[in-house]
Each structure stands twice: as C-alpha cells, then as structure tokens.
Structure 1
Amino acid sequence: MGFDGRVVSGIGVVAAVIDAGNFVGAGRALGLTQSGVSRAVARFEQRVGVRLFERNARAVMLTDEGRRFYEKIAPLLSDLDEAVTDIGRASAAVRGVLRASVHPVAMHYMLGARLTEFLAAHPELSLDLSVRDDSGALAAEGYDVAVRFGEPVLSGQIVRRLLESRVVTCASPGYLAQHGKPRRPQDLAQHECIQFPDPVTRRPFAWEFQRKGKTVKVRTTGRLTVNDGATMLMACEQGHGIAQSLEFAATGLKDGRLIDLFPDWNEERFPLYVHFPSRRQQAAKVRAFVDFVAAVAKIYDQPR
C-alpha cells in the first residue's frame, strides 16, 4: 500500500469513530455528516482490505481486525498528538536551541556582557552563538537570527534596524606626539591609517567625512588591514596608526586613550540590523532574542 495523505485522513476518521463510539459523534467532532463519516470509513476499509467495524442500528463496534489495527496505531496517534503539542508550545514558549550569528563588534562592545542576563531570563533556552562577520543567507548558514552591520543586501529576509552609530576618526596621544595631529581630513593622506575591509567586497572601506551635508572622501593607506574591530582599536591605542571606528566601540575616547581627530566631521552614521527569516509563525525564542538585542542597542543608538 502506497502512503499518501488519504491514509492519514482515513486513520483520523477511524480514530474519531472509536473515540465517539458512533458515526454521529464522530461527525460532530470532524465537522462531517453521519453519511460522510460512513463513506470515509468504507473507503478506508476498502483501501486496507479489512473490515474494521461491525455496524448495527444501535452501535458501532470494532472487529477483531479493527481492534488489532487500533492497538498498533494508537501509540502512533499519541506520538503525533504530542509532537503537535510540543511544536505549538515551542512557538509560544522560549525554549529549545537558538542559533544566532552576531558581528564581533556588536558582540564585544554591546551584547557579550549581557548574555548571562538573557539566558537567566529564559532557563529552557540554549544559545548556539557564532561570532563572525557573516553576510550569507540565514537558512543556508543554519541560523535562526543574525546581527549585522550595514544596509541589508539580501532579499527574502525580515530586518529590523537596531541603531545608528557615528563613525569617528581617532588616534592615540602617543601616535600624535610622534607624527603630529592632522588638522583636516585631507591631511590623512600623509599618515599611517589602519584599514578595515568590507566583508562583501573584501576591499578596505573608503574613508568619508560628513559635515553640514557636505561629504569629503580621502584616499588613505596603511600597512595594517584587519577585519576585527577590537584588534584594530587595540593597534590604534598602541600607537600604530589612525583608525576609523564606530563611536560606541571606541571606548578609549572616554578615558583619553584615544583622541577624536575631527569632531566637526563625524556626521556619518553606520547602521546595525537584526535579520530573521519571517514574521509569520515566528518562534518565541527568535522574538525573545530580537527584543533583547533591540533593548541593548537602544542604549547605544545615535539617531540623526
């Protein structure tokens, strides 16, 4: 016997008749007429090749074959019902395994210190976290959700803007004492500038400066190119060269380890988004993580 949807449908009707004890009660449970239930049972009996019920004017009773058949399918029906219940719970309860991809800068400077807080709030959830600069498709990479910088370039994903951070150009006091402080963005052409590559093109990001609607592009060079923001800022603090960074990540600005070189030219903003496959039937674990990231990002947001 080939398996198809009619088998499942037939088993459902048979189970309803057994539970109700008659065709009338089964019809009420299934939204069918008594004759509709009777025809469905007859079709299924013809398909399996045995008579499952003895029918009379007063009752419907299982035959010996029908009893043996039901003894075999009853555990399967119970497992199926449990599976449906579990998946329904999963969509309403924060549980299971959440696979997330988070950009290293967002992880190191925003989310990392708060992960324990998130997991403590959801004791039935396990977090499988990949800290990487990743621009691939979520489904293809096996992720439920991703946190990424830059404007979205892939279609077929739902995105939510989390924040915009100012782009600052900074250097250490030691570097400036040795090489002098540039007075304007164009002076950077004579300085050692730490390069940061675009994850899509793999070429270093262009250095731009914005003020009062005016944009200035400067060609910069440097012997160090690094794709990790923490490493770039560490090299900058140690005096290797000048770097462009998101302001919330450049924590050295607060205690003097770094100097903002052009505070009048930092109107450029760089966005951070959370990506997830779909809003429809979105699992509670994804909603919980998106809400958590959004709440943290709000602290660092610098809207125009």
Structure 2
Amino acid sequence: MSFDGRLLSNISVLAAIVHSGSFARAAEALSMSPSGISRAVGRLETSIGVRLFDRTTRSVTLTDEGRMLYGEISPLLAGIGDAVNLTSGASTAVRGRLRVNVDTYFSRRMMAPHLSRFLTLYPEISLELLVRDQLGDLVGEGFDIAIRFGQPPSSTLIARKLLETSTVTVASPDYLSKYGSPKTPSDLIHHFCIQMKSTMTGLPMEWEYTLGKTTMPVKTTSRLLVNESGTLIGACLAGVGIARIKASGVKDLIAQGHLVELLQGWRGEKFDLYALYPSRHLPPAKVRAFIDFVSEFLHEGAPLSD
C-alpha cells in the first residue's frame, strides 16, 4: 500500500478518537465536523481492509485489529511530535497531555506527595492520573503509561521495573496497648486482622511469612474485609486491627509513630512495581520524563520510598 499525506491524516484522526474517547470530542479537538471524522475512519478502514472500531450509540471501542494498529502507530506519532518540537527550537519536548493508569495505593501513598514537583518541573504537561482497580486495556483506553504492582501481563507492553518492596505487618499504638503484640506469625490467630480482598480472586489475600529457609502460611480471620488500601490504612490507624501492607507506602507513618511494625524478623511477600507502556520503540519524551521522575523519588531516600 502506497503512502500519502491522507493516510497520515486519517491515522491522526484514529489517535484523536482513542485519546478523546468519542468521535464527537475528536471532531472538536481537530476542528473537524463529526461527519468528517467518520469519513476519515471509513477511508482508513477501507485502505487497510479491516474494521477498526466497534461503534454503538453509547460507546466507541477499538477492535482487536484497531488496538494492534494503534499500538504500533502511537509511538511513531509521538516521535513525530517530539521531532517537530526539537526542530522548532522549543524549550522542551516534554509537553502535552499525559494519561497515566495507576492503582489506589501508588496514587495516594506514593505519587500524590510528589505531584506538585512534577508539574512544576514540566509546566507544559497536562497530567491525567486515573485510578483503576485493574490494568485493563492500556492501548484501547488511550493511556500513555501505567504504573502498577505485580507481575506484568504477557502482552506487547514494555515493562520497566522501578522498585521491589516487601510487605510489613503493622498496628496502631492504641491497638497494641489494648491487645498486646504478636511474637510469632502463629500468634496472629488470637488477634483482630484486617483482611484485604484480592482484585484477582475476590477472596481475602493470604498471609505468608519467611524466616531463613522456613516459610509459614498464616490463616487469619477477621470481621473486616476491605478492597482498597486507603481504607485498610485508615482502619489500622484507628486501632481496628493488625494489617499487612506494602512497606513503600507506610514508612512515614511508622517513622512518625502512628503505626508500629510487628514481626520484624519475619519477611512478608515481595511486590515489584513496574512502568508499562505500549511501545516496542523508544517511548515519547513525556513518558520517559514521567518514568525517570517516578524512579528518582522512589530511590532518593525520601520517607515514602522503600
């Protein structure tokens, strides 16, 4: 298939629809009519011989072929933008809207205290930080990058490991004054433990401890089951019970004496934090800048890092 300027124009329309979430908003962003947007998509679908969007009266989603195409062309379009910015002598190529997919724990406990510094450092960035329980379809939903805990999915996404953090067992001083401290993991059966629901299984997450070469699974029971880390921390601070949580987000609370770390000789599970982005090419400047910034504050020795 020969290349011409109309192909690039139609591909730009595709990208605008993905980023805005609808044909109407894409038309507004590109100063085109809705019918012009539809015609551009139709020409693109005809030229490559596949349907790119599933369209209903309420939603627009990429087909599998559309996701594949967008995953390949989005870094190329970003690269063109970076090249234009650099060639035109712009003060920085780190500009435009940056859509980031994160979980609640990273957003509230780790990223939020640093947002002001990031926005000050990059004044031409418009940051859209969206909290999701699941990673979802990064390409289909128009995200530039995701920062997530856990093993990266088997996909075309590029994964860069940013941090390894372990879990810690904590309780408030008020709880410990009433009920005492567990000396070994097996003592937890006699305590109130706040359980966290797994987003994968919907069941309470299992607690497991390691000492040397010995690994001990611990069965806990509780009258409180939560599915969100902010509620878990809040309940623990209020003295409801003992909680297990990623160390990277509660070191400040432990240092300030609001929480007390328990069972320190026993190691909990480890979790890896990854940056994920839909490109097998060099990521755009705004994505590189965000990854570098997150990596920096995670390792600069601040209270929130691990």
TM-score range, shorter chain: 0.5 to 0.7
Please state whether the residue corresponding to 2:139 is helix, strand or coil: helix
Could you tell me how far apart the structure 1 residues matched to 2:237 and 2:3 are? 69
Please state whether the residue corresponding to 1:263 is helix, strand or coil: coil
Does the 8 Å contact 2:82/2:285 carry over to 1? no
Q: Shift in Å at residue 6 of structure 1?
A: 7.7
Match of 1:285 in 2: 286
Q: Shift in Å at residue 202 of structure 1?
A: 2.2
Q: 1:84 to 1:217 in 2, by over 3 A?
A: closer
Q: Percent identity?
A: 40
Residue type of the alignment partner of 1:153: P
Bigger radius of gyration among the two: 1
Does the 8 Å contact 2:135/2:146 carry over to 1? no
Match of 2:236 in 1: 236
Could you tell me how far apart the structure 2 residues matched to 1:153 and 1:131 are? 18
Please state whether the residue corresponding to 2:271 is helix, strand or coil: strand
Q: Shift in Å at residue 173 of structure 1?
A: 2.0
Could you tell me how far apart the structure 1 residues matched to 2:154 and 2:117 are? 31
Q: 1:7 to 1:177 in 2, by over 3 A?
A: closer
Q: Shift in Å at residue 87 of structure 1?
A: 6.3
Structure 2 residue 84 is the aligned partner of structure 1 residue 89: yes
Query: Where does the alignment leave 5 or more consecutive residues of structure 1 unmatched?
Result: 10-82
Match of 1:125 in 2: 125
Please state whether the residue corresponding to 2:153 is helix, strand or coil: coil
Match of 1:38 in 2: none
Question: Once superposed, what is the RMSD of the aligned Cα atoms?
Answer: 2.6
Could you tell me how far apart the structure 1 residues matched to 2:79 and 2:232 are? 49
Where does 1:45-84 land on structure 2 (aligned, <5 Å)?
none
Q: 1:279 to 1:179 in 2, by over 3 A?
A: same
Match of 2:277 in 1: 276
Where does 1:102-251 land on structure 2 (aligned, <5 Å)?
102-250=102-250, 251=252
Does the 8 Å contact 1:211/1:267 carry over to 2? no
Where does 1:247-262 land on structure 2 (aligned, <5 Å)?
247-250=247-250, 251-262=252-263
Q: Shift in Å at residue 180 of structure 1?
A: 2.8
Figure out how many residues of one structure are paired with residues of the other and give that number: 226
Does the 8 Å contact 2:208/2:268 carry over to 1? no
Q: TM-score, normalised by structure 1?
A: 0.67
Residue type of the alignment partner of 1:289: F
Q: Shift in Å at residue 7 of structure 1?
A: 7.2
Q: 1:200 to 1:221 in 2, by over 3 A?
A: same
How big is each residue's C-alpha offset from its partner over 1:271-301, in whole Å with a ceiling of 9 and x where there is no partner?
A: 1111111140421111111111111122366
Residue type of the alignment partner of 1:274: A
Could you tell me how far apart the structure 2 residues matched to 1:125 and 1:90 are? 14
Please state whether the residue corresponding to 1:292 is helix, strand or coil: helix
Please state whether the residue corresponding to 1:248 is helix, strand or coil: helix
How big is each residue's C-alpha offset from its partner over 1:174-195, in whole Å with a ceiling of 9 and x where there is no partner?
A: 2222223222101212222111
Does the 8 Å contact 1:194/1:224 carry over to 2? yes
Q: 1:86 to 1:182 in 2, by over 3 A?
A: closer
Q: 1:173 to 1:159 in 2, by over 3 A?
A: same
How big is each residue's C-alpha offset from its partner over 1:51-72, in whole Å with a ceiling of 9 and x where there is no partner?
A: xxxxxxxxxxxxxxxxxxxxxx
Does the 8 Å contact 2:297/2:305 carry over to 1? no
Please state whether the residue corresponding to 2:186 is helix, strand or coil: helix
How big is each residue's C-alpha offset from its partner over 1:32-88, in whole Å with a ceiling of 9 and x where there is no partner?
A: xxxxxxxxxxxxxxxxxxxxxxxxxxxxxxxxxxxxxxxxxxxxxxxxxxx996463
Q: Shift in Å at residue 244 of structure 1?
A: 0.2
Q: Shift in Å at residue 118 of structure 1?
A: 1.3
How big is each residue's C-alpha offset from its partner over 1:203-246, in whole Å with a ceiling of 9 and x where there is no partner?
A: 22110111213211101111222222222111111111110011
Could you tell me how far apart the structure 2 residues matched to 1:148 and 1:185 are? 28
Could you tell me how far apart the structure 2 residues matched to 1:283 and 1:153 are? 22
Could you tell me how far apart the structure 2 residues matched to 1:242 and 1:112 are? 25
Residue type of the alignment partner of 2:179: H
Could you tell me how far apart the structure 1 residues matched to 2:81 and 2:156 are? 28
Residue type of the alignment partner of 1:137: D
Q: 1:292 to 1:177 in 2, by over 3 A?
A: same
Could you tell me how far apart the structure 2 residues matched to 1:247 and 1:238 are? 19
Q: 1:143 to 1:86 in 2, by over 3 A?
A: closer
Does the 8 Å contact 1:158/1:276 carry over to 2? yes
Could you tell me how far apart the structure 1 residues matched to 2:98 and 2:205 are? 32
Q: TM-score, normalised by structure 2?
A: 0.67
Match of 1:28 in 2: none
